[in-house]
Amino acid sequence: MIRFEEKSYSAGTFRPRPEIHIEPDGSLLIVATPWGARAAARKAVRKIQDYFLSIRHDVEATSPFSRLACLSAMGNDLRVAVKLASDSIYNEDNRAEYVTAIELFVLARSRDETVWIQVGHPFALLDRPGENLISLGGQQDLSTEFSKPGTVLSPLPTRFVGTEKTSDFAVESIRTQPADKLILVSSSFVPATLYSLPESERTLQSISTCLAEKKKNQPFWLGLCHFS
C-alpha cells in the first residue's frame, strides 16, 4: 500500500499543480505536471495507467517498443507506458506546434521492488529511518541558471514528455523497506537545510515550512509517499 500526502505553496510566481493518480493497492503512482493544457496531463495519466495495468495482467501481450535486457519486467512495462503517453501527447497536441508539455514522475511497486521514471520535476528524496535524506534524482530548471541575487524568476522547466517525436529517459530502481518514505519536491530552489532536517521533523508541514522560509516568493509542490 501507499499512503500519499501533498501540499502546494503559491507565491509571487507560477507553478502548476500536478495531476495525481494512485492505484488503490499502491502498485502505481503518477504525478503529471502540465505546462499548458491540463487535459494533456490527464491524458498522460490515463495512457500510463491503462497500459501498465493491462500489461501487468497479460504477460503474453506484445509490447509496441523493444524491451531492454537491463531492466526488470516491471521496469520495461513502466518505460513502455511512459513512451506511449509521450507519443500520444506529441501526436495529438504538439505535432503542428507546441501547445502543452508535461513534467512527469511515475513510480511502480511490487513487493520490495520499486521502479520510477522522472522527467523534470518532481525529484525524489529517500527518507529511511536512521539515515540522512538520500537524493534519488535531481532536476534543476532554467530559473536557477538565470536568476541573479535579489531576483525571483518563475520556474522554467528544462525537460518534458510529449514535446518530441521520439522520447527516451532513464528507468531507476531501488529495493524499498517497509518504513521508507519518498519525499517528492517540485521547486526551483531547494535549501540545504532540507537535507539536515531531523528525522522527527520530516513531516509534510515541517518540510513545506523549510522550503517556504528560504525563498518566500518561490512556489513549490511537495508530496510524501509512505510505503507499507
Confidence check: pLDDT of 167 > 90: no
Pairing of strands 100-110, 113-119: antiparallel
Pairing of strands 2-9, 220-227: antiparallel
Contact 213, 176 (CB under 8 A): no
Q: Report the pLDDT averaged over residues 71-84.
A: 94
- What does the pLDDT read at residue 93? 93
Buried b (16+ CB within 10 A) or exposed e, 67-102: eeeeeeebbbbbbbbbbbbbbbbbeebbeeeeebbb
Least confident of 1-15, 98-112, 180-194: 1-15
pLDDT band at 203 (very low <50, low <70, confident <90, very high): very high
Instruction: Please choose, from the candidates 179, 188, 191, 193, the residue with its C-alpha nearest in 3D space to the C-alpha of residue 225.
Output: 179
Least confident of 139-143, 173-177, 184-188, 190-194: 139-143
- What does the pLDDT read at residue 60? 67
Least confident of 22-26, 54-58, 125-129: 54-58
Q: Report the pLDDT averaged over residues 57-75.
A: 84
Mean of pLDDT over the chain: 88
- What does the pLDDT read at residue 152? 66
The tally of CA atoms less than 13 A away on the side-chain side of residue 22 is: 15
CATH number at residue 44: 3.60.40.10
Domain span at residue 57 reads 2-227
Q: What stretch of H or E contains 87?
A: helix 73-89
Contact 82, 139 (CB under 8 A): no
pLDDT digits (tens, 9 = 90+) for 86-117: 999 999 999 999 999 999 999 999 888 999 99
Confidence check: pLDDT of 207 > 90: yes
Q: What percent of the chain has pLDDT over 90?
A: 58
- Give the span between the Cα atoms of 187 and 193, in whole angstroms: 14
- Give the span between the Cα atoms of 106 and 95, in whole angstroms: 24
Of residues 32 and 159, which shows the higher confidence score? 32
Cis peptide before 191 (omega within 30 of 0): no
Number of domains comprising the chain = 1
Take residue 69 and report the three cell numbers written for it. Answer: 535486457
Cα–Cα distance list, 15 to 105, 156, 171, 183, 222 (Å): 16, 9, 25, 18, 12
